[in-house]
Chains A and B, each alone.
Chain A
Amino acid sequence: GEDVEQSLFLSVREGDSSVINCTYTDSSSTYLYWYKQEPGAGLQLLTYIFSNMDMKQDQRLTVLLNKKDKHLSLRIADTQTGDSAIYFCAESRGSTLGRLYFGRGTQLTVWP
């Protein structure tokens, strides 16, 4: 099947900004999502963006969407050790909104 691609690892120092990148596959995707998963836990929705938007900001989180390049990014400002987790990018395709296609996840490690 078609793949959603993410880099697997990112390390940053506490207080720096983190940028997690994702490329998706379907130019007709309706929504694009960022989920956070802490060890042994389920997936927590961080934010999502509708495909007709370029940017969405929510407190420390900024999502940028480049539809032409099918590129999505998540910027976390002032990264904290509690932000250490796996971050998944996901896209919805077609009319079944809960049918998501996930990347493999980016392991974010924040060093004090």
Chain B
Amino acid sequence: NAGVTQTPKFQVLKTGQSMTLQCAQDMNHNSMYWYRQDPGMGLRLIYYSASEGTTDKGEVPNGYNVSRLNKREFSLRLESAAPSQTSVYFCASIRQGNSPLHFGNGTRLTVT
């Protein structure tokens, strides 16, 4: 099993450009999450999807949109990228109940 797969691994954008970060999990997990990690900081939650068909805001949702395309896939979209969105983005998933959060390897995004 691949677990949680994120694409792309690296991306450079100019201010104002848009892009979509892709995430897919093959563990049949119900809930999926997008976090960002800034230098010297812990991870902060951007958006999450507790189940297929639902999405909710986390701590830092401004400037982002999400789509839970199906049970496997949860995408994060930046409509108009800003330098403040330079970060490492992690997707994660979890089964309901007593189980840990599984992370992907991250997408390193630079906005110039």
Contacts and interface: CB of A to CB of B under 8 A. Distances in A.
Given A1-B59, A96-B48, A48 B90 contact: no
Contact of B42 (A41, A45, A48, A105): A105
Interface residues of A, number: 24
Interface residues on B, range: 20 to 34
B48 A99 contact: yes
5 contacts: A41-B105, A41-B106, A97-B94, A103-B42, A104-B42
Given A45-B103, A98-B101, 19 more contacts: A4-B42, A8-B40, A41-B106, A42-B103, A43-B90, A50-B98, A88-B43, A90-B42, A96-B50, A97-B94, A97-B96, A97-B97, A98-B32, A98-B48, A99-B33, A99-B58, A102-B43, A102-B44, A105-B42
Interface string B46-77: 00101000000011000000000000000000
Interface of B: 31-33, 40-45, 48, 50, 58-59, 90, 92-94, 96-106
Contacts of B97: 97
B88 to A, nearest CB: 9
